């Protein structure tokens, strides 16, 4: 049986089977309801659909990478019959890019999360897309932790804690493939199977990870963390045969990657943004690092307490597992575990130390280049650091015993309350966010609900006189539930039907469609920033998100511009926004263009007035 490849012992196999069935049942219900975590309701409201909203929880404007770009590009691909070229926008750009979209080319063999689009209606296929990703995440990290020596229940709960951490949840909707597929190459490498089976499997799962989302900051930091785990806890797998298989699989992956992405990578490497991004170390605030121990330290729910930040940038891979370890572990067993596995934990500690140095110390880019870290902004190293830290705590916990007593529970409670008081006090004396004490009391339930969950776990253990070996399961379950009902509320339950059905014909949309039909160029020109929303609903518009430069298109519009200025403005990943300005302006990924350049003479004021009236 396949479970025997991953799990040893009849009890472990039975537990694995139960957990897998539970996971698949939940996924089946999720897809049957056509649920997604999409924040697209914000996009519908931006298009004038006032009553748009998810089935449960709230759609958040901050997730614009998803609701204004990724989801509309999925819509565009479906509307275009899965063509590799955008059939709707006036740019007619390629849909082959760093995001994996449902387009029909040979790379589809490496994109199992998208296969549903060829078998199901689009709404159910999009739901299946996300269901595949979160089931793959939960199963993948559980299997990997099991391969590192953790029993199946702790592995499953540790995987759940990682999934419901702040960082994973806030970046999930546009970065899920990078997170979900990351453990599978290492899982395949560690499988005790013959080389002729391992080679194609390792190549395929590695390609699935890479083709799922080409985003180097998360890929590089995650790969480093997984490599450290291999060196720390599974050095026995580094046999000549396994290494040879890995080299051949890596070579095949590299060849496939260059064959498919070669032109695109060369184009993006030469861009002003993000191609010329070359970062050094340092800059991560100490309070964010402390959030690995106290997950709610820098936020009130998801509102950041640090200046110049937002719900996504403030997040770290924060779980309650480190604090649980500190408050409830039997320290004699902890010392014994560290002594018996000294080399293992020194290697893991060294990996954490290197990433920590990159995050807080101004390390020169020339030094970081050795590990490709010049492509990893220090804030993005949070993913690799948190992944390694979480896995380390789970592996260590599996080797220790835990004690639940009133005194230890009190210590946990005091720590949580002290962290809450510290962040509120700091914000009152050195205010960086507009958050009052009243706000902290009303909206700060994340901090105190955690204490209730751990108290409930302790009461259940005491009431049913559970054996000491059960303590760690109860505590890990409390940590997982706490993450689920706090950070797990970031993404909504949005049914996919409104995403792929034509939106209600609002006055605003009617005016945009009319403009596209009457404009001699066949495109709409709307003041403001709309990303790819118009493309997604089938309206050709200059307002768009270009995932690769459209130099030829813009050279026709600005033939008089000198080459240096033209290259700086248009050679970039760009969200095209139109405004009544005299000349183009570029701000990282935002490109503001003069609306008059795209309208027939004399139409500028009429177009703007018509759309303002429609709104």
Scan for tokens 């298009």, then name that residue.
Answer: 47
Tell me which residue of 258, 259, 310, 321 sits closest to 288, measured CA to CA: 310
Is 414 contained in some domain?
Answer: yes
pLDDT score, position 504 = 84
Token output for 549: 């430069």
Residues 534 and 475 occupy one common structural domain: no
Tell me which residue of 203, 187, 96, 88 sits closest to 143, measured CA to CA: 187
Phi–psi pair at 264, nearest 5 degrees:
-65, -45
Tell me the mean pLDDT in the region 190-208.
Answer: 97
Tell me the mean pLDDT in the region 152-156.
Answer: 97
Token output for 585: 């302006």
**Eight-class DSSP state of 470:** G
Phi–psi pair at 305, nearest 5 degrees:
-100, 0
Question: 2 pLDDT band (50/70/90 cuts)?
Answer: very low
Residues 160 and 282 occupy one common structural domain: yes
Residues 388 and 520 occupy one common structural domain: no
Residues 224 and 268 occupy one common structural domain: yes
Residues 391 and 533 occupy one common structural domain: no
H or E element: which one contains 132? helix 122-147
Please state, rounded to an integer, the average pLDDT across all residues of the chain.
92
Interior angle at CA 207, CA 205 and CA 212, nearest 5: 100
Give the Cβ contact number of residue 408 at 10 Å: 16
Question: 62 pLDDT band (50/70/90 cuts)?
Answer: very high
Q: What percent of the chain has pLDDT over 90?
A: 82
C-beta separation of 351 from 228 below 8 A: yes
pLDDT score, position 223 = 98
Residues 454 and 574 occupy one common structural domain: no
pLDDT at 322 exceeding the cut of 90? yes
Scan for tokens 């080679």, then name that residue.
Answer: 199
Phi–psi pair at 161, nearest 5 degrees:
-60, -40
| Distance, CA of 425 to CA of 431 (rounded, Å) | 9
Token output for 492: 């909504």
Q: How many residues appear in the chain?
A: 615
What are the E-state strand segments in 113-262? none
Residues 411 and 560 occupy one common structural domain: no
| Distance, CA of 42 to CA of 68 (rounded, Å) | 8
pLDDT score, position 430 = 57
pLDDT score, position 426 = 74
Question: 6 pLDDT band (50/70/90 cuts)?
Answer: very low
Residues 433 and 393 occupy one common structural domain: yes
Number of domains in the chain: 2
Residues 279 and 173 occupy one common structural domain: yes
Last residue of a domain, one of 431, 466, 489: 489
pLDDT digits (tens, 9 = 90+) for 445-484: 898 899 999 999 999 999 999 999 999 999 999 999 999 9
| Distance, CA of 475 to CA of 325 (rounded, Å) | 9
The overall longest dimension of the chain from CA atoms, in Å, is 82
Residues 272 and 406 occupy one common structural domain: yes
Least confident of 473-482, 491-500, 522-531, 593-602: 593-602
Is 509 contained in some domain?
Answer: yes
| Distance, CA of 424 to CA of 439 (rounded, Å) | 10
| Distance, CA of 386 to CA of 317 (rounded, Å) | 5
Residues 462 and 515 occupy one common structural domain: no
3-state helix, strand, coil in the chain (%, to 5): 65, 5, 30
pLDDT score, position 4 = 42
C-beta separation of 499 from 67 below 8 A: no
Tell me the mean pLDDT in the region 44-64.
Answer: 94
| Distance, CA of 27 to CA of 574 (rounded, Å) | 35
* Segments forming the whole domain that contains residue 542: 503-614
> 524 forms bridges with which residues in the sheet?
541
Is 284 contained in some domain?
Answer: yes
Is 494 contained in some domain?
Answer: no
C-beta separation of 40 from 59 below 8 A: yes
C-beta separation of 401 from 468 below 8 A: yes
C-beta separation of 232 from 345 below 8 A: yes
Is 6 contained in some domain?
Answer: no
Q: What percent of the chain has pLDDT over 70?
A: 95
| Distance, CA of 488 to CA of 465 (rounded, Å) | 31
Is 45 contained in some domain?
Answer: no
> 495 forms bridges with which residues in the sheet?
35
| Distance, CA of 330 to CA of 153 (rounded, Å) | 20
**pTM of the predicted model as reported, rounded to 2 decimal places:** 0.94
pLDDT score, position 110 = 98
Q: Could you please report the per-residue DSSP string of 160-175? A: HHHHTSHHHHHHHHHH
């Amino acid at each position: 049986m396949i479970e025997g490849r991953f799990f040893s012992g009849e009890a472990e196999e039975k537990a694995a089977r139960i957990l897998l069935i539970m996971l698949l049942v939940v996924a089946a219900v999720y897809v049957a309801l056509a649920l997604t975590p999409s924040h697209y309701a914000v996009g519908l409201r931006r298009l004038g659909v006032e009553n748009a909203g998810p089935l449960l929880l709230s759609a958040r404007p901050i997730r614009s990478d998803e609701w204004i770009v990724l989801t509309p590009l999925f819509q565009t691909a479906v509307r275009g019959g899965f063509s590799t070229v955008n059939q709707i926008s006036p740019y007619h750009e390629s849909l082959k890019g760093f995001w994996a979209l449902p387009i029909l080319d040979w790379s589809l063999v490496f994109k199992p999360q998208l296969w549903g689009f060829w078998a199901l209606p689009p709404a159910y296929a999009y739901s299946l897309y996300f269901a595949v990703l979160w089931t793959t995440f939960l199963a993948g990290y559980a299997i990997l932790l099991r391969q590192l020596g953790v029993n199946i229940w702790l592995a499953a709960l540790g995987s759940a804690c990682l999934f419901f951490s702040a960082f994973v949840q806030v970046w999930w909707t546009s970065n899920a493939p990078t997170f979900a597929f990351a453990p599978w190459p290492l899982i395949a490498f560690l499988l005790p199977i013959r080389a002729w089976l391992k080679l194609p499997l390792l190549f395929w799962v590695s390609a699935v990870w890479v083709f799922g989302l080409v985003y180097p900051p998360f890929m590089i930091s995650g790969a480093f963390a997984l490599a450290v785990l291999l060196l720390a806890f599974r050095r026995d797998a580094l046999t000549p045969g396994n290494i040879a298989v890995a080299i051949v699989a890596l070579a095949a992956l590299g060849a496939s990657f260059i064959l498919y992405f070669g032109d695109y990578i060369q184009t993006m490497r030469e861009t002003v943004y993000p191609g010329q991004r070359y970062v050094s170390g340092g800059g991560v605030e100490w309070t964010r690092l402390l959030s690995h121990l106290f997950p709610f330290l820098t936020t009130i729910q998801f509102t950041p307490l640090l200046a110049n930040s937002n719900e996504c940038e403030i997040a770290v891979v924060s779980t309650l597992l480190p604090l649980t370890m500190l408050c409830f572990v039997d320290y004699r067993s902890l010392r014994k575990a560290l002594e018996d596995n000294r080399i293992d934990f020194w290697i893991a500690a060294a990996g954490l130390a290197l990433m920590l140095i990159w995050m807080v110390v101004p390390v020169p880019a020339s030094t970081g280049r050795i590990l490709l870290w010049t492509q990893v902004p220090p804030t993005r190293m949070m993913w690799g650091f948190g992944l390694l830290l979480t896995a380390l705590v789970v592996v260590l916990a599996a080797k220790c015993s835990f004690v639940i007593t009133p005194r230890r529970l009190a210590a946990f409670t005091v720590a949580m309350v002290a962290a809450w008081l510290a962040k509120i006090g700091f914000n009152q004396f050195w205010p960086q966010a507009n958050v009052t004490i009243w706000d902290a009391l009303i909206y700060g339930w994340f901090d105190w609900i955690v204490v209730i969950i751990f108290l409930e776990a302790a009461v259940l253990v005491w009431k049913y006189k559970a054996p000491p070996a059960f303590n760690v399961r109860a505590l890990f379950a409390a940590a997982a539930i706490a993450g689920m009902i706090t950070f797990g509320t970031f993404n909504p339950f949005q049914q996919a039907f409104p995403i792929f059905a034509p939106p209600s014909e609002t006055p605003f949309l009617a005016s945009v469609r009319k403009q596209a039909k009457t404009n001699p160029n066949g495109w709409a020109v709307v003041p403001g920033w709309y990303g790819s929303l118009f493309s997604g609903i089938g309206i050709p518009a200059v307002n768009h998100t270009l995932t690769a430069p459209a130099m030829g298109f813009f050279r026709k519009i600005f033939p008089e511009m000198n080459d240096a200025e033209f290259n700086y403005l248009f050679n970039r990943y760009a969200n095209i926004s139109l405004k009544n300005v005299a000349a183009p302006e570029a701000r990282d990924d935002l490109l503001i263009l003069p609306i008059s350049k795209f309208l027939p003479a004399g139409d500028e004021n009429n177009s703007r007035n018509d759309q303002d009236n429609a709104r």
